[in-house]
């Protein structure tokens, strides 16, 4: 009788252990799945949104852009760069990392015309201004949205400084531009020339006055991409 009871007990314990083993195994699978899910955003590609705007690159008086023009938007009482506003919209949709292309020496002029002349002179001489901001881990990004205003039918020279600082071979550059009507001019060709091994995707141009209401256009463009 004792023997029978003992063999029943052993069978019950053996079944119990087997059950536990199965639970542990399935818990292991769940962990694996969780890890895979956590890794997937990386597999989809890390996104950087690098942009240049005039606001933030001119000397400020008491925290305010000293040479604001009629085309500069005012958000929450502060002057806001047109290109920055579009960059923020892209960030909201993609969840990418924002990066402001900031010059080491800001434009030091006290009127808008003087500033426009300074930017033109810099462009005609092909100057590459030193940058105050740098992307530490550029190799970790797969897609780089690159935003800039059209300046004299070209990119601001600081955007060339940015483009020439990194090796973007194999990455996708997605240009976006704001302007007073010139669109991209020849800037797409200039980006391709600066980074011949990168894939340059369909860009988006927004007219300066349409910037505040460009949300739908930005979303449609991102969906197309």
Q: Is 53 in the site for ligand FMN (CB under 6 A)?
A: yes
Looking at beta carbons only, is 4 or 70 nearer to ligand FMN?
70
Distance CA 216, CA 50 (A): 21
Instruction: Give me the least distance between CB of 82 and ligand FMN, in Å please.
Output: 4
In the region spanning residues 114 to 153, those forming contacts with ligand FMN, defined by CB under 6 A, are 116, 119, 149-153
Nearer to ligand FMN, 71 or 172 (CB): 71
Q: How far is the CB of 112 from ligand FMN (least distance, A)?
A: 8
Distances (CA, A) of 45 to 42, 85, 99, 218: 5, 23, 17, 20
Judged by CB under 6 A, does residue 109 bind ligand FMN?
no
Count how many Cα atoms sit within 13 Å of the Cα of residue 113 in the half-sphere of its side chain. 0
Size of the site for ligand FMN (CB under 6 A): 22
| Positions in 4-23 near ligand FMN (CB under 6 A) | none
Cα–Cα distance, 98 to 103 (Å, whole number): 16
Nearest to 178 by CA among 152, 153, 208, 157: 208
Q: How far is the C-alpha of 156 from the C-alpha of 150, rounded, in Å?
A: 7
Where on the chain is the footprint of ligand FMN (CB under 6 A)? Answer: 53-55, 71-72, 81-84, 116, 119, 149-153, 178-182, 208
């Amino acid at each position: 009788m004792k023997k029978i009871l003992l063999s029943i007990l052993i069978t019950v314990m053996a079944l119990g252990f087997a059950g536990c083993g199965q639970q542990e195994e399935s818990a292991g699978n769940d962990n694996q799945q969780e890890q895979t899910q956590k890794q997937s955003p990386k597999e989809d590609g890390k996104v950087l949104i690098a942009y240049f705007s005039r606001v933030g690159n001119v000397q400020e008086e008491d925290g305010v852009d000293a040479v604001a023009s009629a085309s500069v938007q005012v958000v929450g009482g502060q002057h806001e760069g047109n290109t920055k506003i579009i960059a923020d919209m892209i960030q909201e949709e993609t969840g990418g990392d924002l990066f402001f292309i900031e010059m080491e020496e800001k434009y030091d002029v006290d009127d808008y015309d003087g500033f426009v002349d300074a930017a033109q002179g810099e462009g005609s001489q092909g100057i590459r201004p030193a940058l105050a901001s740098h992307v530490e881990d550029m190799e970790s990004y797969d897609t780089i949205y690159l935003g800039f205003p059209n300046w004299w039918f070209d990119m601001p020279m600081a955007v060339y400084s940015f483009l020439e600082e990194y090796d973007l071979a194999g990455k996708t550059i997605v240009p976006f531009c704001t302007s007073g009507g010139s669109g991209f001019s020849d800037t797409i060709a200039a980006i391709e020339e600066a980074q011949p091994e990168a894939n340059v995707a369909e860009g988006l141009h927004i007219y300066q006055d349409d910037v505040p209401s460009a949300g739908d256009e930005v979303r449609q463009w991102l969906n197309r991409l």
